[in-house]
Chain A
Amino acid sequence: MASSLILQAKNLTKIYGENVIFRDISLDVRKGETIVIIGPSGTGKSTLLRCLNLLTRVNSGQIFLEGREITAPGTNEDQVREQIGMVFQNFLLFNHLTALENVMLGLTKVKKLPKEQARQKAMQELSRVGLADRAGHYPAQLSGGQQQRVAIARALAMDPKVMLFDEPTSALDPELIGEVLGVMAQLARDNMTMLVVTHEMGFAREVADRIVFMEKGSIVEQGAPDDLFERPQHARTREFLWKITELYGKKEKP
């Protein structure tokens, strides 16, 4: 745990009108760490991710990327987002571009790589998610799982310092979830720094270095997966874990 801080959130608060989404959240993300954020729906987990790469503005608090404050006025937000990859629940591939072009777009337009170089890099990333043979396919020609893997490749191509996953498997049919989680687990093994919001408890337990439990806009507790799953400190954590295992139990039944 001596590795350096990549992303640091200090006392973040987000309010929409009268609605407090989250209040006073602080979180440190170290290099190579995989953090899984769990918690009931509507507790501000997704909004937190969107705030971390500045897609949404926090009302107060500070965010640091490798020690530099990115919430400071005058920050080039586009440069920040280039360094923070994001994967969305509903994939959000560019519908008019092939898988390869989806991955290439950021390389040619943001990183300004020459086309040929961008193509090679994009093919590498597609291979990494196991979709080199689908390079010429349009999103509508791909399954949900394949689309999400292309989306992961698109984010990886920018060589991000940290990857944010916003419920990456929630929109997938059950039989397609595995291939996406497989790619994510491999990324974790490759020491990618990852912040994952998910309801996949199996994945959380197996892959995460740290679990963060969020409820009603604040972090209730966090810790290593075994500690948190086996010995939760708070009643609310226990309750949530009980509910979600019951849910999964039901799901398992034929």
Chain B
Amino acid sequence: MLSNFLSYIVQGTGVTIAVTLIALPFGLLIGLLLALLYNYGNRWVARSAGIYSLLMRGVPPIVLLFILYFILSGRLINLSPFWAGSLSLGLVSSAYQMEILRGALAAVGAGQMTAARAIGLTRLQAIRYVILPQAIRLAIPPWSNEASIVLKDSSLVYALGVPEILRRAQQLSATTGQPFLAFGAAALIYFCLVFLTNRALDYLAEKTKLPTQPV
């Protein structure tokens, strides 16, 4: 019976991973777009992107989840709890990813853009071939942090009834009367997921690191 229960919690891992795999790239897409608008758009565009970031970071993720699922979904678009949850987390994350990326873009420096334009690259080409490859390298370590946060925040979708790890642990804690076991198992799974994610991104950072040693 106990192994049944534990496997029941483990089944939630798939949901947790799926939510993260939707929220993170969705947030990256929007975050990147906003970071580019913020750094290279005109004053009003940049200001709007800044306000978006401020709003998204200022609202607790759970509130955004409720707004998207209970209020917007069903009137605009029909979103299942799973998608409403994943996309809300993506929206929240987009603001943080925007901050990471705009910091990275700024750190690349205006000179690189000037040099790229000077050989005749268009603005978009310069961003694509010169600025982004450098910015993304700079963004990997803070982004790794954000990935862990989204992974752990994915537990919030339980509030919409998506049976991910935490919700399953709650149910089992109630049924078995063994909260330590149930939540301990959940904590262990989260830890493993975060650990593996960070290691994978560390590896990526190491792989893409530019050589500095004189040869």
Q: Do chains A and B touch in the complex (CB under 8 A)?
A: yes
Interface set of A (CB-CB < 8 Å, partner B): 53, 55, 78-79, 81-83, 85-86, 88, 90, 92-96, 105-106, 109-110, 137-138, 140-141, 151, 154-155, 158
Complex Cα distance, B120 from A105, in Å, reads 10
Question: Which residues of A have CB within 8 Å of B121?
Answer: 78, 105-106, 109-110
Complex Cα distance, B134 from A94, in Å, reads 9
For B128, the closest partner residue in chain A by CB is: A109
Complex Cα distance, B122 from A81, in Å, reads 10
| Given A96-B134, A109-B125, A81:B118 Cβ within 8 A | yes
Asked if A141 and B213 make an inter-chain contact with CB atoms under 8 angstroms apart, the answer reads: yes
Question: Which residues of A have CB within 8 Å of B133?
Answer: 96
Question: Which residues of B have CB within 8 Å of A82?
Answer: 119-120
Asked if B212 and A140 make an inter-chain contact with CB atoms under 8 angstroms apart, the answer reads: yes
Question: Which residues of A have CB within 8 Å of B58?
Answer: none
Asked if B116 and A96 make an inter-chain contact with CB atoms under 8 angstroms apart, the answer reads: no
Asked if A141 and B119 make an inter-chain contact with CB atoms under 8 angstroms apart, the answer reads: no
**11 A-B pairs whose Cβ atoms sit less than 8 Å apart in the complex:** A81-B117, A85-B119, A88-B111, A88-B115, A96-B137, A105-B116, A110-B121, A140-B210, A140-B212, A141-B212, A141-B213
| Given A95-B210, A140-B210, A79:B134 Cβ within 8 A | no
Question: Which residues of B have CB within 8 Å of A88?
Answer: 111, 114-115, 118
Residue among B117, B130, B212 making CB contact with A55, cutoff 8 Å: B117
For A81, the closest partner residue in chain B by CB is: B120
For B119, the closest partner residue in chain A by CB is: A106
For B135, the closest partner residue in chain A by CB is: A96
**How many residues on B have C-beta within 8 angstroms of the other chain's C-beta atoms?**
23
Please, what's the 1-or-0 string for B141-159, where 1 marks a CB less than 8 Å from any CB in chain A? 0000000000000000000
Give the contacts of B158-215 with A (CB-CB under 8 A). 210-215
Interface set of B (CB-CB < 8 Å, partner A): 111-112, 114-122, 125, 129-130, 133-134, 137, 210-215
Asked if B111 and A92 make an inter-chain contact with CB atoms under 8 angstroms apart, the answer reads: yes
| Given A95-B112, A95-B134, A96-B134, A78:B129 Cβ within 8 A | no
Asked if B118 and A140 make an inter-chain contact with CB atoms under 8 angstroms apart, the answer reads: no
Residue among B115, B122, B137, B214 making CB contact with A92, cutoff 8 Å: B115
| Given A106-B121, A140-B210, 11 other A-B residues pairs in contact with their CB atoms under 8 A | A53-B118, A78-B120, A81-B120, A82-B120, A92-B115, A94-B116, A96-B133, A96-B134, A105-B130, A138-B210, A138-B211
Question: Which residues of A have CB within 8 Å of B129?
Answer: 105, 109
Q: What's the least CB distance linking A128 to chain B, in Å?
A: 16
Q: What's the least CB distance linking B37 to chain A, in Å?
A: 21
Complex Cα distance, B134 from A53, in Å, reads 25
Q: What's the least CB distance linking B164 to chain A, in Å?
A: 38
Complex Cα distance, B119 from A82, in Å, reads 5
Complex Cα distance, B120 from A88, in Å, reads 15
| Given A109-B129, A110-B121, A137:B215 Cβ within 8 A | yes
For A143, the closest partner residue in chain B by CB is: B214
| Given A96-B134, A109-B125, A79:B210 Cβ within 8 A | no
Question: Which residues of B have CB within 8 Å of A138?
Answer: 210-212
Q: What's the least CB distance linking B117 to chain A, in Å?
A: 6
Interface centre among B118, B130, B212, B214 (most CB of A within 10 A): B118
Question: Which residues of A have CB within 8 Å of B114?
Answer: 55, 88, 92
Complex Cα distance, B21 from A173, in Å, reads 50
Q: What's the least CB distance linking B122 to chain A, in Å?
A: 5
For A142, the closest partner residue in chain B by CB is: B214
Asked if B215 and A154 make an inter-chain contact with CB atoms under 8 angstroms apart, the answer reads: no
Interface centre among B115, B122, B212 (most CB of A within 10 A): B115
For A54, the closest partner residue in chain B by CB is: B117
| Given A90-B111, A109-B125, A141-B215, A96:B119 Cβ within 8 A | no
Question: Which residues of A have CB within 8 Å of B119?
Answer: 81-82, 85, 105-106, 110, 154-155, 158
Question: Which residues of B have CB within 8 Å of A53?
Answer: 118
Residue among A79, A86, A109 making CB contact with B118, cutoff 8 Å: A86
Complex Cα distance, B117 from A86, in Å, reads 10
Complex Cα distance, B211 from A83, in Å, reads 32
Question: Which residues of B have CB within 8 Å of A94?
Answer: 112, 115-116, 130, 134
3 interchain residue pairs of minimum CB distance: A82-B120, A92-B115, A106-B119
